[in-house]
Structure 1
Amino acid sequence: MFRLASAAMAGTAIEFYDFFVYGTAAALVVGPLFFPTASPLTGTLAAFGTFGAGFLARPLGSVLFGHLGDRHGRRPVLVLSLLLTGLATVAVGLVPTYARIGPAAPVLLLLLRFVQGLGLGGEWGGAVLLTVEHAPAHRRALWSSLPQLGPYVGFLLANGITLALSAGLDERQFLSWGWRVPFWCAAPLVAAGLLLRARLAETPDFRELAARGTASLPFAEVVRDHWRLVLLTAGGLSVAYSVFYTVTTWALSYGTERLGVDRTVMLGCVMTMVCVTGAATPLFALLGDRVGRRPLCLAACAAIALWTVPLAALLHTGRPLPMLLGFLGAGLASSAEFAVIAAYLPELYAPRVRCTGAAVGYNLAGVLGGAVTPLVATALSRGDGPPWGMAVFLTAVALLSLGCFAFLPETGPPAAPQPAPADGAPA
C-alpha cells in the first residue's frame, strides 16, 4: 500500500506542479507580458481568465479519461494524463510574449492551459482509485489522503522554484526569462513520473469488474442514473477549491499589486500555509476513518463560513504574521475536506462508473470554486478598504457547500476487521 500510495502521490504532485506553476505566473507576470495593452485591473482579470480555462477543461478531461479508466483500467489513465499535462506545461514556457507575436501569444497560452486542464481532469480519478481500490476498508481515507498530498507538494515545488528565481534575479531578468524556468522544469519531473508509474499494477476492483464486463458508456450511465449525486458532490467540494485558490492565487495578486507587499513575502506566507495544511491532511484523514466523511466535511464548511471575515481583515493588514494567521485558518478548514473527499467520492459510486462519476464531480467543483473565485474576488475587491466582497462571496459558497453535504449520505467509516476467535471460543 505504501508503494502504491507513494507512486500515486508522486504523480499527482507532478501533475499539480504543472497546473499550479501557471497559477503563480498568472498572479505575477501573465498580465503585463501577455495583456500589456490592458489596464492593470483588466490585465489581472484576463490573466485569471486564462487560469480559469484550465478548470473549464478539467470536467471534459474527467469524462474522456474516466471513460478510459472505467472501460480499460485505472493504470492507462495515470500514464496518459501525466504525459499530456507535462507536454503542455513545457510548451507554455516556450510561448513568445505579446511583444513578440502580438495577439497570438494569449491565444496560444489559452489553448495550452486548456490542454493542461484536460490532463489534470483525468489524473485525479486514476490516482485516487489506485489507492482506494487497493486499501483496506477501515483505512481507506488515510491511504487515499496520500494522493491528496500531491497538490500540496506540487504547489510547494512550483512556488519554491518561483520564489528562488524571484529572490535571485532582478525584475528585468525575471520578466525576461526567469518566469519560464519553472515550466521547463516540468520535463524531467514528468519523465521521472512516467518511469515510476510504468511499473504499477491494475487495481483488484477493476480486474474483478473486467471479468464481469465493464460499462459501455460510463458517462451516459452517470448522467442518467447519478446526475443528482454529481451536482451535490460538486457543490459540496466547491468551497474547498474556493478557499485554496483565494489564498494561493488571488491573495498573491492582491497582496503584491494592491497592498504593495513584496513578492517574496507573499510567496513565503502562502508556502508556509501550504506546508502546515499539507502536514495536517493525513491527520484529518485518520479522523475521517474514525468519525466518518460527511461530518468532517460539514464541520469544514461551517468553519470556513465563520473565518471569511477574519481572513479579509487579516489579509488587509499587509503584515506577514497576521496574513499567515488568516491563511492558516482558511487552509486548515479546506484541508479537512480535501483529506476525506478522495475516499468519500469513490465510495458513492459503483465500480463500473466510479472513475467517471467521482472525477466529474471533483473537477466540476474545480470550475465552480477554482476557476470562478479569483475572477469574482478581484471584481469584488476594488475599494481601498479590506476585501469584504471576497469574504461575502466565500461565505455564500461555504453555505452552498454545507447545504449540498447535508443531502449526501454517509459512506463510512466501516468497522476495523476483528481478529478471528481462537479454537473453542464462541464466534
Structure 2
Amino acid sequence: MSKSVLPEPSSSPPPATTSDRRRVAFATVVGTTVEWYDFFIYASAAALVFDQLFFAGLGANSTLVAFVTVGVSFLFRPLGAFLAGHFGDRYGRRRVLVLTLILMGAATTLVGVLPTFDQIGIAAPLLLILLRIVQGVSAGGEWGGAVLMAVEHAPPKRRGLYGASPQIGVPLGLLLASGVLALITLVLPDDAFLSWGWRIPFLLSVALIGVGHYVRRRVEESPVFKELAIRRERTRTPLVQLFRRHSGLVLVAALMFAGNNAVGYMTTGGYIQNYATDPQGPLGLDRGPVLWAVTASAATWLLSTWIAGAVSDRIGRRRTYMIGWLAQLAGVLALFPLVNTGDIGLLTLGLMILTIGLGLTYGPQASFYAELFPASIRFSGVSISYAIGAIIGGAFAPTIATALVSATGTTTSVMVYLAGMTVIGLIATLLLRDRTGIPLGPDHESEQAVSPLRFRKP
C-alpha cells in the first residue's frame, strides 16, 4: 500500500479503559440516534404530508414522487462514504463524526422552515430535494465512523455487543421520529398538522444536534487510528487501495446489507405508514395509531438488535446472521397478511415480528464489517460497502413497493420482492468467512488483508 516511510516510533497509545469504552458506546448511541431521527423524520413526512405540500402539482403521481425523493438521498450516500472514508482513514474517525452530525442537523432544521409549493411554486420541491441530498451525504459518512469508534475501542470478545451501540441508533431514531409525530397528531387536528404541525419534529433537530455534538466532542479518537498515526502508516490513497484489492469483498458485503435494508425501509422509508393511512387505499387507517404501531415495532427492533450483537460474540457473526435471515424471511411472509386485516393490533404484531429478524441481521453488522477490512482502509471499506448496500436495498424500496402494488393490485408482489432481497442477503453471508475476534490493530495488517471471501483461497 502507498504509505509514508517515516521511522516507526517506539511508543504506542495506551489501551482503552472501561470508562473510555462506555463513553464511546454512549456517544455512538446518542449521535447515531440523532442522525437517524433526522433521516427518518423526512421519510415519515414524505409518506404523510410532502405529497400534498410539495408535490401537489403532480396529481396522482405525487406520492410516488415523494417516495422517490426519499430514495434520491441514497444515491449521494456513496459520495459521503467516499469523502468520510478518505478523511477518516487519513485524519481520524472522530472529526468526521462531528462534521456529519452538524451537516445532517442543519439540513433537517432547514426543511422545517421551507415554504411549500403553494407559496413559492417549483422552487419548494427543488429546495426540499437539495436538503435531502445533503442528508444523504451526511448519512453516507456517519455510519462507518460510528461503527469503528465503537468496535475499535471494544475488547475482542465483546465487539459484537459494543458494535451494536451505533446499530441501535437506527431503531432508536425511528422510535423517536415516529413517537414525536404520533404525539403531534394526538395533540393537533389534521388541518393544523398539515398546515404547520409537521414542521415541529424538523425544528426539534436543533436541540438534538446540540446534545449529540457535545457528547461526541468528549470521546477519545479510536485506538487503532491513534496507533496508525503514531506509526505513520495511514494510507495516502485508501479508496484506490480498497478497490484495487477488495472490490469483490465490497460488493458481497453490500449485497449482505441490501437484504436487510430493503425490508427495513418498509417502515423507515415510510411505505407502511402511507399504505395503511392512505384514504384512497384499501385500509384508510387513522394516522396516529399507525405511527404508534411503528413506534412499538421500533422498540422490538432495538431490543433484537442489541441482543444480536451480544449473541454474535458467543456463537459468531455469521451464525447469528443465518438465524436472522430465517427470522426475517418469516417476518416478510407474515407482514402483509397481518397488515391487510385492517386491524391495528394485528398490524402492530406484523411489524414487531418483522423487526425481530431485522434486528438479528443488523445487530452484528458493525463488528462483522469491521473484521472484514484491513486497519489502514477500514473506514473506507465499511462506509462504501454500507452506502452501496443502501442503494441496492433501501434506496427505492418504498418506490418499488408502491409501483408493484399499482401494477399488480396486490401486496403479494411486494412480499415476493422482499423475500427475494432476504435470500440475496443470505447468499451473500454464505460467501463470507466468519472472522469473529480477528485482531484489528495495524500489527496484524497482513492477516486482515487476506480475503474473507469463501470463493477465494485464503
Partner of 1:100: 119
Measure how far apart 1:329 and its partner are: 1.7
Aligned mates of 1:346, 1:364 — CA distance in 2 = 16
What secondary structure does 1:371 align onto? coil
Kindly indicate whether the alpha-carbon contact (under 8 Å) linking 2:329 and 2:357 is maintained by their aligned counterparts in 1.
no
Is 1:22–1:51's contact at 8 Å kept on the other side of the alignment?
Answer: yes
Question: CA–CA distance in 2 between the matches of 1:29 and 1:407?
Answer: 42
Q: Does 1:254 align with 2:275?
A: yes
Deviations 1:120-159 (Å, cap 9, x if unpaired)? Answer: 1111111111111110000000011011111122112211
Q: Quick one: structure 1 residues 209 and 3, their matched pair in 2 at CA, closer, same or farther if it must change by over 3 Å? A: same
| 1:385 Cα offset (Å) | 6.3
What's 2:378 paired with?
A: 354
Residue in 1 that maps onto 2:411: 387
Please say if residues 331 and 357 of structure 2, whose CA atoms lie closer than 8 Å, have aligned partners that are also in contact. Answer: no
Are 2:263 and 1:239 aligned? no
1:278 to 278, 295, 302: 302
* Post-superposition CA distance 1:283-323 (Å, at most 9, x none): 11111111111122222223333432321211111111211
Encode CA deviations 1:316-355: one digit per residue, 9 max, x unaligned. 1111121122111211101101100010001100110001
What does the per-residue CA deviation read over 1:233-282, in whole Å, with 9 as the maximum and x for residues that have no partner?
11011121111111341111100012101101111111101111202222
Instruction: With the length of structure 2 as denominator, give the TM-score of the two structures.
Output: 0.88
In structure 1, the residue corresponding to 2:364 is in which secondary structure? helix
Trace 1:61-80 onto structure 2 (pairs within 5 A). Answer: 61-80=80-99
The residue aligned with 2:228 is: 209
Output the CA distance in 1 between the equivalents of 2:117 and 2:373.
Answer: 46
What is the CA-CA distance between 1:86 and the residue it aligns to?
0.6
In the other structure, the counterpart of 1:17 is 37
2:328–2:356 contact (8 Å) kept in structure 1? no
Secondary structure of residue in 2 paired with 1:405: helix
Selected match of 1:366 from 390, 393, 398: 390
User: Aligned AA for 2:142?
Assistant: E
2:349 is matched with which residue?
325
Residues 1:225 and 2:225 are matched in the alignment: no
2:362 alignment partner, SS class: helix
> Which amino acid is 2:137 matched to?
L
Q: Residue 444 of structure 2 corresponds to which residue in structure 1? A: none
Cα distance change on mapping 1:353 and 1:384 into 2, 3 Å: closer
Q: Aligned pair in 2 of structure 1 residues 383, 376: CA closer, same or farther (>3 Å)?
A: closer
So what's the TM-score if we normalise by structure 1? 0.94
Give the drift of 1:162: 1.0
What is the RMSD of the two structures over their aligned residues, measured on CA atoms? 1.5
Change (3 A) 1:350 1:414: closer
| Amino acid aligned to 1:303 | A
Pick from 153, 172, 176: which aligns with 1:134?
Answer: 153
Shift in alpha-carbon separation, 1:290–1:414, aligned structure 2, 3 A = farther
Q: How many residues align?
A: 414
The CA deviation string for residues 80-101 of structure 1, in whole angstroms up to 9 with x for no partner, is 0101111111111111111011
When you count helix as a share of all residues, which structure comes out higher? Answer: 1
Counterpart CA distance in 1 for 2:136 and 2:122 is 22
Q: Tell me what 1:120 maps to.
A: 139
Say if 2:150 is the partner of 1:150: no
Q: 2:333 aligns to what?
A: 309
- Cα pair 1:309 1:388 within 8 Å, conserved: no
User: Which amino acid in 2 is paired with 1:408?
Assistant: L
**What percentage of residue pairs aligned between the two structures are identical?**
39
2:9 alignment counterpart = none
Q: Is the 8 A contact 2:144 2:383 kept in 1?
A: yes
Residue of structure 1 aligned with 2:179, choices 160, 164, 169: 160
Deviations 1:136-193 (A, max 9, x none): 0000000110111111221122111111111111122111111111111001111111
Q: Is the 8 A contact 1:4 1:131 kept in 2?
A: yes
What's 1:184 paired with?
Answer: 203
